Amino acid sequence: MDLATIVQILDSTLRLATPLLFACLAGLFSERAGIFDIGLEGKLLISAFFSAAYAHYTGSAWAGLGVGVLAAVVFSAIHGIASITFRGNQLISGVALNFLAAGVTVVVAQSWFSQGGRTPPLAGDARFQRLDLPFAEALRDVPVLGPVYSQILSGHSILVYLGLLTVPATWWLLYRSRFGLRLRAVGENPAAVDTAGVSVVRLRFMAVIICGVLCGIGGAYLATSLSAGFVKDMSAGRGFIALAALIFAKWRPWHALGAVLLFGMLEAIANRFPSLNLGIVTLPGQFMSALPYILTVVILAGFVGRATPPRAGGEPYAKER
């Protein structure tokens, strides 16, 4: 494998890992507060559709992003009402949102555009354009540093860089702020937080809203940056892969970045090599395409070591009277 191929794979890795990163960090906030969210997939999908639809109507990717985030926040609010206010089963609520998103996006897309459940292709300002980092061209021919900076790090949309910046912001918010301390405490021992006079309901709702915002950005990136419009089921299981990455990362932001980059690299390799000849055996295209999902199953089966979720995760909290 030559240097040019490695650079192309790493460049694709960063692009493909971005929606996973937003969804993974979204799940991190929600689950750290004790709310398990199987509905990440549905939030990505609903955001992808509405961001593409409104970007098409307005000709602005930013307008599409705003509407996509709003759609995902609405889904998060529904999940919050079901699991926090009415203390329903969090897993069932998340699965219901996934089914709802899968159906609504196709039906509404067909009603609005009559193109078989897809939106018209996006072009120009309706898509987020690539950004070239300063001195990228000047450093292109510098050994090692040049390809890394000018071809791997430079040339992505602004949402890719926003995703990378969200990782240290998430770490600081969770581990260096009062809000983060309380949020993590709610996921571990909500009764103690309640005793201290802090509203468990308010903190959990704040967590699921943050989850909706991040999923909304991830979905908008799928439709207005990584692709040029919405197609049916375009999230393609990324919400579930993000959950696996979250478990792999043991609910820690920096480890989450490494996990999603691993998944993104597997997808990039599968795209670059539809079938891979290892000399002794040739891996077929179906196996290569399934690599990220195979790793998901391996992680969820527990082969990467024990991952202990927040102790109060998945448990509704009722205030003692």
How is 248-278 classified by DSSP, letter by letter? HTTS-HHHHHHHHHHHHHHHHHHHH-SSEE-
294 lies in some domain: yes
Q: Return d(Cα 264, Cα 301) in angstroms, integer.
A: 20
Nearest alpha-carbon partner for 128 in 260, 15, 266: 15
Tell me the per-residue pLDDT of 121-137, one tens digit each, with 9 for 90 and over: 999 999 999 998 888 88
Residue of higher predicted confidence among 24 and 279: 24
Angle, helices 178-188 vs 3-32, to 10°: value is 70
305 lies in some domain: no
Question: Which pLDDT value is given to residue 45?
Answer: 97
Question: Which pLDDT value is given to residue 297?
Answer: 78
- Give the dihedral of Cα atoms 116, 97, 296, 224; nearest 10 deg: 50
Helices (H), 178-252: 178-188, 190-195, 200-221, 238-248
Question: Which pLDDT value is given to residue 315?
Answer: 85
320 lies in some domain: no
151 lies in some domain: yes
pLDDT at 302 over 70: no
289 lies in some domain: yes
Supply the range of the domain harboring residue 231: 3-300
CATH of the domain at 22: 1.10.3470
- Indicate the number of domains in the chain: 1
311 lies in some domain: no
312 lies in some domain: no
List of long-range contacts for 293-302, beta carbons under 8 Å, 24+ apart: 293/237, 293/241, 295/244, 295/262, 295/263, 295/266, 296/237, 296/240, 296/241, 296/244, 296/263, 299/244, 299/245, 299/247, 299/248, 300/244, 300/247
Average pLDDT across the chain, whole number: 90
196 lies in some domain: yes
Determine phi and psi for 10, rounding to 5 degrees: -65, -35
Kindly state the percentage of the chain with pLDDT values over 90.
67
SS3 content of the chain, % helix, strand, coil (to 5): 70, 0, 30
Q: For residue 15, what are its two tokens?
A: 């692009």
Q: Place 304 in a pLDDT band, splitting at 50, 70 and 90.
A: low
- Give the dihedral of Cα atoms 82, 25, 41, 52; nearest 10 deg: 110
Question: Which pLDDT value is given to residue 3?
Answer: 77
Question: Which pLDDT value is given to residue 320?
Answer: 64
Q: Return d(Cα 204, Cα 225) in angstroms, integer.
A: 31
Q: Place 321 in a pLDDT band, splitting at 50, 70 and 90.
A: low
Could you tell me whether strands 282-283 and 276-277 are parallel, antiparallel, or unpaired per DSSP bridges? antiparallel
Among 67-71, 102-106, 145-149, 263-267, where is mean pLDDT lowest? 145-149
